[in-house]
Amino acid sequence: MGDVLSQSEVESLLAALDPGLQPQHTVSNARRDEFRSQISVYDFKRPERVSKEQMRAFQALHEGFSREFGAGLSGMLRAIIEVKLISVDQLTYSEFVFSLENPTCFNLLASEGLEGHIILDLNPSIIFPIIDRLLGGGKEASNDFPGRPLTEIELQLVSRITGLAIQGLERSWSNICSLGLRVAQVESNPQLVQIVPPNEVIVLISFEVSMGEVRGIMNLCIPFNTIEPLAGKLSSDSWSAYTKKAIDPRQLLNLETGVQRAAVELVVHLAHGKLTAGELSTLAVGDVIMTESERNDGAEVFVEGTPLFRAFPGVLKGHKAITMGQTLTKPRDVIAKKMAELGLSYPAAGATEVSPERRRTG
């Protein structure tokens, strides 16, 4: 009797006769590979707290900053300086600190508009050539730089560069919030500054600064808890809408015309006084009521419950009428007060008033 074939040998013979028929273990391996391809690895040590839309907003914001900062540096150094945005990442603060060189130019920026600090790190590979250029050198490119902290004189020169970067950042962020940045501390060892816990998520924005053949990295570190209140404004759908727009005269005229046609309640208070319930129950036709107002005081004109004018009663063509007197409260002051109670700002007088010529054209 011949040898008995195993199951694998039988499947191999069937597969050779019919190429469309695959062994069972081959099919199971394919399903296993397909299942593994649907699994995404998530590192709980590095949670992604910043959404992709917000990361794109950061990129769009700082692309404009890189161009402006590069132009400012070129004018300061009288040389062609190129600043290019190379990456926008999110990582932990400890990973950022240990990735920096020591010593370096580590600037801690305090912000009035944000609850926290921002870090601006300038790599020694580019900061020393820039200092050399400011002191009159830098004609020949060199990648050699001293491995030491900056001196007091060098820090004063670097403060001009930091101030230029702060101006560019404030202009780039002006549509989101007013940063109000200032240099709070400058360190050479980045590990000596602990602004957030080591595992806190930060947004790292890296720029490449090029001056001839010399290149270096400039890092902008923004902790997530610092920008968390602005998370809604940083979404890709809404951050670009936060732009300052000039007032359109036609829209202003249409708004004023519509407001002028609105109906308001006008009530005239002739006098005021106090009566007891007993006195009120005994009143009859012809009785005289003593009031607390003087005869010459006139009446108060209330518009939507707010006293605005003083008036005097009279008769005009057989109808009861009043003659307008002095102004008690300006309507603009009333509107400004109510808007202040709502936490809103009221525009200046020149921004909302319409000239008489424009009123006549309407």
pLDDT in tens, 157-206: 888 888 898 888 888 887 787 888 888 888 888 888 888 888 888 888 89
Strands (E) in the chain, as ranges, are 81-92, 105-111, 117-122, 181-187, 201-211, 214-223, 266-269, 299-303, 306-316, 319-327
φ, ψ (nearest 5 deg) of residue 89: -130, 165
In the chain, CATH 2.30.330.10 covers: 249-272+293-361
- Contact predicate 216/158, CB 8 Å: no
- Answer whether residue 143 shows pLDDT above 70: no
In the chain, CATH 3.40.1550.10 covers: 52-241
CATH class of 52-241: alpha beta
- Contact predicate 295/312, CB 8 Å: no
- Answer whether residue 338 shows pLDDT above 60: yes
CATH number for 249-272+293-361: choose from 2.30.330.10, 3.40.50.10420, 2.70.150.10, 3.40.50.1000.
2.30.330.10
- Contact predicate 137/114, CB 8 Å: no
* pLDDT score at 358: 41
Amino acid at 129: P
pTM of the model: 0.54
Entry field: residues in the chain: 362
CA–CA dist 52, 350 (Å, integer): 42
* pLDDT score at 139: 58
- Answer whether residue 45 shows pLDDT above 80: no
Place of tokens 């603009």: 332
Place of tokens 């101030």: 163
Amino acid at 250: R
Place of tokens 């019919």: 18
CA–CA dist 239, 57 (Å, integer): 7
The number of angstroms, rounded, from the C-alpha of 335 to the middle of its chain's C-alpha atoms is: 28
Hey, is 121 helix, strand or coil?
Answer: strand
Strands 105-111 vs 117-122: parallel, antiparallel or unpaired: antiparallel
Copy the structure tokens of residue 177: 């919030």
- Residue 305: which region, alpha, beta or left (left: phi > 0; alpha: psi -120 to 50)? left
- Contact predicate 50/224, CB 8 Å: yes
* pLDDT score at 274: 81
Closest by CA position to 116, among listed 29, 12, 229, 18: 229
- Answer whether residue 1 shows pLDDT above 60: no
- Residue 243 CB contacts under 8 Å (≥ 6 apart), including other chains: 175
Percent of the chain as helix, strand, coil, to the nearest 5: 40, 25, 40
* pLDDT score at 26: 53
Copy the structure tokens of residue 299: 């009446």
